[in-house]
Amino acid sequence: MNALAHELPRAAINAKLVSLIATGSIAFGVFLSGFVIREPAPYELYMVVLLPVWALFGLKFSRGIMPLVTLIVLFNIGGFLSMTVMAEIRDTPLYLAVSLFLGFTAIFFAAVTEQRPHLLKPMFDAWIVAAVFTSFFGILGYFHAFPGAEMFTKYDRAAGVFQDPNVFGPFLVPPALVLLHRLVTGRVSAMPLRALPLLIITLGAFLSFSRGAWGLLAFAMATLVLLLFIQNRSGLFRLRIIIMSALAVVLLFVAILVVLQIPSVAELFSARAQLVQSYDAARLGRFARHAIGFLLAMEKPLGIGPLNFGLTYGEDTHDIWLKALMDYGWLGFISYVTLIVWTLAAGLRILFRPRPWQPYLMCAWIALLGHTLLGTVIDTDHWRHFYILLGMVWGVIALEMKVQRARAQGHEHPALMRSR
């Protein structure tokens, strides 16, 4: 009996240790997604190991995420079929291998979220830390704060620990949403702890001078405030949302106004703030290439081969829908459209259900919707954080199916019991 009494605490300690390691391994993976200054990035190298380790220790793939699995596989099959029409293969197999791998990461995060929804908090916390870190270096790089700081910029724009400012900026939006959600709905005493990282992240996004990132951040924040307003029926709470949101907007506006007093910042802002740039509307500019590509797609059911569009017309598609048609053919395009529409529709259906993970679903869903809209002017098919968002949303969709199934059987799902 005495030996049994000693074994029980030891088993509990071991279980907590395993849980802590599991949580840390997932959070660290999300954190590494913010460091893509070279390829292969640390994120890829880490995830290549993490996926099979979790699979060995019992990660399950339920029926709830099978639509995600099926559509990602079909999308990539379209890419491999498109490769068959190419006269010269070049680096296409590696490109498609990366596409497939990133698709697997979405499936992985969906399975993890479904089984352990409590991991959404540490995942977003790690994302916030990564965003603050990369924003901080992007800001230091933009202002040449130390010798060699220019490595954190590109085209005289803040890029943080990313290769491209146009990816760096959108990466910052999901953690900014979580911070804004906590700022608006949390304790007033905790405001400074949320306002400071939000300020750093917003300044990083601003100095990226990415029009897509600016639009995405503004759209996502406005949508979050609107959905919170719709969700909460209390007049007092709605007044709080309005006041806190207004304070956050004023704070961010003043910070940006201060930065604009720097002549170099004001000059680049004036140039980048134009809705249509010369390379958009010029002959064979972005919009002309879009028209050419969609007409060409009508004649090429298998597409023209991954990466061939940029080689033929001098610039990439800069449109994820055209990218799907050109690089993945009709099969890939239909699969991708179906996946996005299904994800957003299924996520919207459960968006306001009172669950412990609902705030994280709301932020991930809004960010995914914004990235979908952004995809009309930029290619997002190899953005690592896009697949993390996709996995998060699908994980909650699959989890909600289990919650409803458990209630139909007359009991609560363990994930809801755990939160009480």
Q: Is the pLDDT confidence value at 357 over 60?
A: yes
Residues 30-49: what's their mean pLDDT? 91
Of the candidates 141, 109, 88, the residue with the CA atom closest to the CA atom of residue 364: 109
Q: Write down the pLDDT at residue 238.
A: 86
Percent of the chain clearing pLDDT 90 (strictly above) = 63
Q: Is the pLDDT confidence value at 60 over 70?
A: yes
Residues 128-151: what's their mean pLDDT? 94
State pTM to two decimals. 0.92
CA distance 274 to 283: 18
Report the amino acid identity of residue 1: M
Question: Are 117 and 357 within 8 A, CB to CB?
Answer: yes
Residues paired with residue 154 on neighbouring β-strands, in sequence order: 157
Q: Write down the pLDDT at residue 420.
A: 47
Residues 72-89: what's their mean pLDDT? 94
Q: What's the CA angle centered on 46, arms 44 and 47, to 5 degrees?
A: 65
Q: Is the pLDDT confidence value at 384 over 70?
A: yes
Q: Is the pLDDT confidence value at 27 over 70?
A: yes
Question: pLDDT tens for residues 203-240?
Answer: 999 999 999 999 999 999 999 999 999 998 888 888 88
Here the tokens at position 58 are 């019992």
Here the tokens at position 19 are 């849980």
Please state whether beta strands 157-158 and 153-154 pair in parallel, antiparallel, or not at all (unpaired): antiparallel
- Assign 253 a pLDDT band (cuts: 50, 70, 90): confident
Name which residue leads in pLDDT, 57 or 372: 372
Q: 104-108, 125-129, 415-419 — which is least confidently predicted? A: 415-419
Element (H, E) at 157: strand 157-158
Burial 383-418 (b: 16+ CB within 10 A, else e): bbbbbbbbbbbbbbbbbbbbbeebeeeeeebebbee
What is the CB neighbour count within 10 angstroms for residue 69?
Answer: 18
Q: Is the pLDDT confidence value at 53 over 90?
A: yes
Dihedrals phi, psi of 157, to nearest 5 degrees = -125, 145
Helix (H, G, I), strand (E, B) or coil at 84: coil
Helix (H, G, I), strand (E, B) or coil at 210: coil
Q: Is the pLDDT confidence value at 261 over 70?
A: yes
Q: What Å distances lie between residue 63 and 67, 68, 75, 120, 353, CA to CA?
A: 8, 10, 19, 21, 21
* In the chain, domain spans: 2-418
Query: What's the chain's average pLDDT?
Result: 89
Helix (H, G, I), strand (E, B) or coil at 303: coil
Name which residue leads in pLDDT, 15 or 346: 346
Q: Is the pLDDT confidence value at 406 over 50?
A: yes
- Assign 270 a pLDDT band (cuts: 50, 70, 90): confident
Q: Is the pLDDT confidence value at 281 over 80?
A: no
Name which residue leads in pLDDT, 246 or 278: 246
Q: Is the N-terminal amide bond of 175 cis, ω within 30° of 0?
A: no
Q: Write down the pLDDT at residue 341.
A: 98
Residues 129-156: what's their mean pLDDT? 94
Q: Write down the pLDDT at residue 3.
A: 53
Here the tokens at position 272 are 């980048």
Question: pLDDT tens for residues 192-211?
Answer: 889 999 999 999 999 999 99
Residues paired with residue 158 on neighbouring β-strands, in sequence order: 153
